[in-house]
Amino acid sequence: MVEWRISETPVPYEEALAFMEHRVAQIAAGEADEMVWLLEHPPLYTAGTSAKREDLVDPDRFPVYEAGRGGQYTYHGPGQRIAYVMLDLNKRGRDVRCFVRRLEDWVIAALAEFNVKGEIRDGRVGVWVTRPDKPKAADGTLREDKIAAIGVKLRKWVSFHGISINLEPELEHFSGIVPCGIRDHGVTSLVDLGIPATMVDLDVALRATFDRTLGDSSRTNTESC
């Protein structure tokens, strides 16, 4: 069974980290169910294990936290839905690459509920949308903006951290970092794309698409992803 938890007000980052650490230990010990936690954070930047100091453009703008997850710098703030996934990969197949791909599939499926086509790109983390409404790049290709970030950590094959989807954050806040180390592309949100969605709408979409992308704990790491 996967427990779902929704926080109605922004959760301080240190509080979220402490909660995840405790819950992951409980799951690994067989003392608690798996959990998906939906929340927002106050404005802040997080540094993943691959973060480069030069990508923190404005270090004094918001608090900066060492996240311990994979990836580089990212922004979190109001209007962005965070989904922290505390799931037991001992039951779901000990395949990190496959698990990350299923997280991507989950984001893409949730975006499809709003008729938004999310895509992944080799060498670029996160989920992307093409922007035919923007001027083309210098090489003639369509512009692409990132709408969701993904970064996870495992302890005893139990995951924590997870995904963030931009519903209606202040996009200018991303200018204080080079998001995920990617300089040649921008960021967007559902509202920026003209989708008048609410956080409740997004939560419903995440719940509706979870089971068909991540809900089957009988999958093993021998299956293709």
pLDDT above 50: residue 196 = yes
- How many CA atoms are closer than 13 Å to the CA of 106, on its beta-carbon side? 28
Binning pLDDT at 50, 70 and 90, where does residue 181 land?
A: low
**Domain ranges in the chain?**
3-212
**DSSP for 5-61?**
EE-SSPPPHHHHHHHHHHHHHHHHTTSS-EEEEEE---SEEEE-TT--GGGBS-TTT
Q: Which pLDDT score, from 0 to 100, does residue 216 have? A: 63
| Cα 199 from Cα 180, distance rounded (Å) | 24
Residue 53 pLDDT greater than 90, yes or no: no
Binding region for substrate: 69-76, 149-151, 162-164
Instruction: Of 122, 125, 129, give the one whose Cα is nearest residue 108.
Output: 129
Candidates 64, 65, 55, 70; CA nearest to 181 is: 55
Phi, psi of 148 (to 5 degrees): -150, 145
- Fold assignment, 3-212: BirA Bifunctional Protein; domain 2 (3.30.930)
- CB atoms near residue 193 (< 10 Å): 18
Amino acid at 192: D
Q: What is the pTM of this model?
A: 0.91
% helix, strand, coil for the chain, step of 5: 30, 30, 40
User: Do the Cβ atoms of 223 and 95 come closer than 8 Å?
Assistant: no
Active-site entry in 87, 180, 193, 214: 180
- Angstrom distances, CA of residue 191 to CA of 114, 196, 198: 11, 6, 9
More confident residue, 141 or 84: 84
Residue 222's pLDDT is what? 32
Binding residues, as ranges, are 69-76, 149-151, 162-164
Residue 217 DSSP SS3: coil
Residues 88-142: tens digit of each pLDDT: 999 998 999 999 999 999 999 999 999 999 999 987 878 999 999 888 888 888 8
Mean pLDDT to the nearest integer, 22-33: 98
Contact residues for 2 (Cβ-Cβ < 8 A; gap 6+): 33, 34, 35, 36, 87, 210, 215
Q: Say if CB 79 and CB 170 are below 8 A apart.
A: yes
Active site residue 98: no
